[in-house]
Amino acid sequence: MQAMSYISITPLSVLCGSIVEGNPMQNTTSAGMDSAAATLRKRPLSVHTAGTNGTAAANGNGVGPGHAADEQDELVSPSARLVEDFYIVVVIGIATPVNLPAARAGIEAQLARYPRFRSIQAKDGSGNPRWVPTTVDLDYHIIYPKLDEAAVARDPDRAVEDYVATLSTRPMDESRPLWEFHVLDFPTSEAAATTAIRVHHSLGDGMSLLTLLMACTRSAADPARLPAMPPLPTTRTGAIWETPRPPASAGCMALAAWAWSFVLLAWHTVVDVASFFATIMFLRDPHTLFKRANHEPGQRKRLVHRALSLDDVKFVKNAMNCTVNDVLVGVTYAALSRYYFRKTGDADTSKEIRVRSILLVNLRPTTSLQACVNMIESGKESDVKWGNELGFIILPFHIGLHDDPLQYVRKAKKIVDRKKSSLEVVFTHLASEVILKIFGLKAAGAIFHRMISHTTISFSNMIGPVEQVEFCGHPVVFIAPSGYGPPEALTVNFQSYVNTMMVNLAVDEAQFPDPHELLDDFVESLRLIRGAASSVGKNHRKGRI
C-alpha cells in the first residue's frame, strides 16, 4: 500500500489570511495530526455537548453562556441517538476548479441556513438531548487540506481516495455543528476538482440529506430552476406493503386474493419479527471473507466508487419486468459471488452461501426539493418532517455461481417482493424506540450494534437528478455518497445521477485490500446480466413474430 498522501489539514481561515493565533489545526504535520486523532478516539465519541448544568457549552461556538436546552428546542429523535457513531460522506466531482469565494457564499446562503446545520446537541435539565441553535463559523466547516504535492502529482485519484479514507478515523468537533466540506482542488481522472462532505448521521438519513443537498443545486441547463428529479411511482399510492382493493366488478376470486394478502402480510411479519429477535440474540451469519473478524471501533474505512450505465440497468428492468432495485440487488449478488469464488479458490461451484444485509429505511415521507428550499429560505423546519425515523429490513444475500446470469435478478426479485409483504420495517422502528425508552441509550446502542454485527453487509439505493446540476455555480460531474460507522466490513450504496448509476463501497482496509477488484466485479456482472437480458428480449420479439 502507498503511504498516505496528506500532510496537514488547514481551515479556510488560514488560507484567507484570517489566521487565528493558537489554532490547533494550523501548521499540523500528518504524524502529529494522527497522534491527536488517536488520542481523541480513545474517549467516547458522544455527540452530546452539554455543560454540567445541562446547558450548551459555549467554547466560542456562538451558544450563549446562559442558553439552556429548554422545551422550545427540538428533542433529538430516538433513531438519531442510536446512530451517534454513524457518519455520511458524499464525494462530489466538479467540472471546474473551485471558486472558493463563490462556494463559501453559496454554502453560507443555503446549507448553513438549514436549522440542523446550525445546531448542536445539548442535554436539557432532564438529561434529554435537544437541538440547540448556535452560530456557524464557516472557517471551521470549510476545510482546504494541504496535500503532499508529490503524491498528488504521482496519482491524484489515489490521493483523493487516501484522504477521504482518513476521515473515517478522525473525530469531529462536537462543540460545533457536525458537518464539514473538504475541498480537494486538483484534477483527477474523473473531475477538475473534488469535494468531500462529511455529515453526522443524526442530522438526517442519507436520502433526506441528499434531498437537502439537491435543493441547494440548480439545473446546469437553466440555473434559475431546481434540478429535475425522477417522477414518483404512479402505480402505488399507499405504503409499499398495501395491496389496493380491487373493484367489486373484479369478482369474488379477486376479492378473496386481496383478503388473503392480509393473511400473508401477518404471517410474513411474524416470521420477520422472529428473525429480528433471533438475530439480536444468537442468529449470526457464517464467517466469510466479507465479514469482519473483530468489531473494534476506529477501524479505517476506504471509500471507493465506480460508474455503471443506468441505461443498462433500465434495459434489464424492462426485459425482466422488475424494478431498478431488483436489478441492483441481483447485480450485487453476482458481483459478490464472483469476488468470493475467485478469492477463496473454492472449487465447489455448486455451493450457495446465505448471508444477510441490513437495510436502514427512513419512514418519514419523502420531502420535495421545493419544500427544502422553502425551509432553507425561512430558516424553519416546522413544515417539513425531517431527520431520522429509521426502521430495519434484514435482506438475505445469496453467494453462488449460476450459468444463467439472469438467475441473480430472478432471485433478487423474489426476495425483495417477499420483503414488501411484511411490516418488518414498521415493527423494528417501534421496537427500537421502545427499547431505547425502557433500557436507555447504552443498552439500546449495544442491542443495535449486536444486531448489525450479526449480519454481513449494509445496502442502500438512492435516486438522484436526471439532469446535470450546478452546486454554488460549479457543474457537478458525479455524486458518490457512502459512509462509515456500522460494524460491518462492507457497505454497498447505489446512487443514480443523469444516465449513470454509481456503485459506492465502504470497506475495511484490512478486510478488502483490493476494493477496486470488487468494483470490477460489479462492472462485469452488469455486463453479463445485460447481455443475457438482451437475448431474452430477442426471443420475446421472435415469439411475437
Model confidence pLDDT, tens digit, residues 254-281: 788 878 888 989 999 999 999 988 998 9
pLDDT digits (tens, 9 = 90+) for 389-432: 667 889 999 999 999 999 999 999 999 999 988 999 888 888 88
Least confident span in 315-329, 343-357, 400-414: 343-357
**pLDDT at 372 > cutoff 70:** no
Distances, alpha carbon 279 to alpha carbons 273, 394, 417, 491, in Å? 10, 9, 21, 19
3-state class (DSSP) for residue 189: coil
**pLDDT at 434 > cutoff 50:** yes
The active-site residue out of 141, 201, 429, 454 is: 201
pLDDT of residue 52: 35
pLDDT band at 167 (very low <50, low <70, confident <90, very high): very high
Sheet holding 87-94, edge to edge: 142-143, 179-184, 193-200, 87-94, 474-484, 469-471, 217-219
Least confident span in 97-101, 205-209, 334-338: 205-209
Residue 48 annotated among the catalytic residues of the structure: no
What does the mean pLDDT of the chain come to? 80
**pLDDT at 53 > cutoff 50:** no
Higher-confidence residue of 451 and 304: namely: 304
How far is it, in rounded angstroms, from Cα 396 to Cα 358?
A: 9
**pLDDT at 322 > cutoff 80:** yes
pLDDT band at 378 (very low <50, low <70, confident <90, very high): low
Do 120 and 56 contact (CB within 8 A), yes or no?
Answer: yes
- Measured between alpha carbons, how far apart are the two ends of the chain, in Å? 57
Residue 55, φ and ψ in degrees, nearest 5? -90, 160
3-state secondary structure string across 268-282: HHHHHHHHHHHHHHC
Do 38 and 45 contact (CB within 8 A), yes or no?
Answer: no
**pLDDT at 50 > cutoff 70:** no
Do 306 and 522 contact (CB within 8 A), yes or no?
Answer: yes
Residue 366, φ and ψ in degrees, nearest 5? -65, 130
Grid cell 481523541 in the structure block, residue? 40
pLDDT of residue 428: 86
How far is it, in rounded angstroms, from Cα 17 to Cα 544?
A: 72
pLDDT band at 62 (very low <50, low <70, confident <90, very high): very low
3-state class (DSSP) for residue 191: coil
CA-nearest of 325, 349, 342, 355 to 524 is: 342
**Kindly report the CA angle at 182 between 64 and 133, in degrees rounded to 5?**
20
Q: Is the torsion defined by CA of 215, 217, 220, 222 positive or negative? A: positive
